[in-house]
Amino acid sequence: MQCPSCQHTDSRVLESRAADVGRSVRRRRECLECSFRFTTYERVETVPITVVKRSGGREIFSRHKVLHGLIRACEKTGIEPACLESVVEEIEVQLQQRGGREVPSAEIGELALQRLGDLSEVAYVRFASVYRQFQGISDFVAALDGLSRRETSSKESLEPVSLAAVG
């Protein structure tokens, strides 16, 4: 590792620890030539994900853009930023595990909506209104109906089944 101060190539590791939720290693180093201390990060290199926009354009997946959208949707809802960062992390991991390297932006939006539905109904509707480009009240009503059906089906799956009904 090259020293940022004197460009000498030999350094020693003083400390190593996990960073970025275990996806990278943070190392404190000291140059053997000038004793300058600096930090490096080591992470697994992943193939970049290309997002196919609605317009047909393509761009590299940006965690920051997804996080920014989630933060805007969750303003004043009390959801912690750390929680939103873990949502973005989950989305990125799921995208990396897919076979292809091109992902439609619609798929990323749907993944975000799934997770927001579990966190906050208000954030879900806010995000959906921008992502799905709501044009009027009927779009909001449809989103609320979908959210309501989703809640009902998840509650039904948690209800105990009586043996009399089964037999």
Q: What is the pLDDT of residues 31-56, one digit of tens each?
A: 999 999 999 989 877 778 999 998 99
Residues 76, 96 within the same domain? yes
Reported as a single tens digit per residue, the pLDDT across 77-112 is 989 988 999 899 899 888 988 877 899 999 999 999
Q: Is 118 exposed, middle or buried (0-12, 13-18, 19+ CB in 10 A)?
A: exposed
- Residue 161, in any domain of the structure: no
Which pLDDT score, from 0 to 100, does residue 29 have? 97
Residue ranges making up the domain that contains 34:
11-43
- Residue 165, in any domain of the structure: no
In the predicted structure, residue 164 carries a pLDDT above the cut 50: no
- Per the structure, how many domains does the chain have? 2
Residues 18, 87 within the same domain? no
What distance in Å separates the CA atoms of residue 155 and residue 167, rounded to the nearest whole number?
Answer: 23
Entry pTM: 0.62
| Percent of the residues in the chain that have a pLDDT greater than 70, as a whole number | 90
Reported as a single tens digit per residue, the pLDDT across 141-156 is 988 888 888 776 665 5
Residues 17, 61 within the same domain? no
- Residue 2, in any domain of the structure: no
Residues 29, 91 within the same domain? no
Residue with tokens 């044009």: 135
- Residue 160, in any domain of the structure: no
Extract the tokens encoding 156.
């039904």
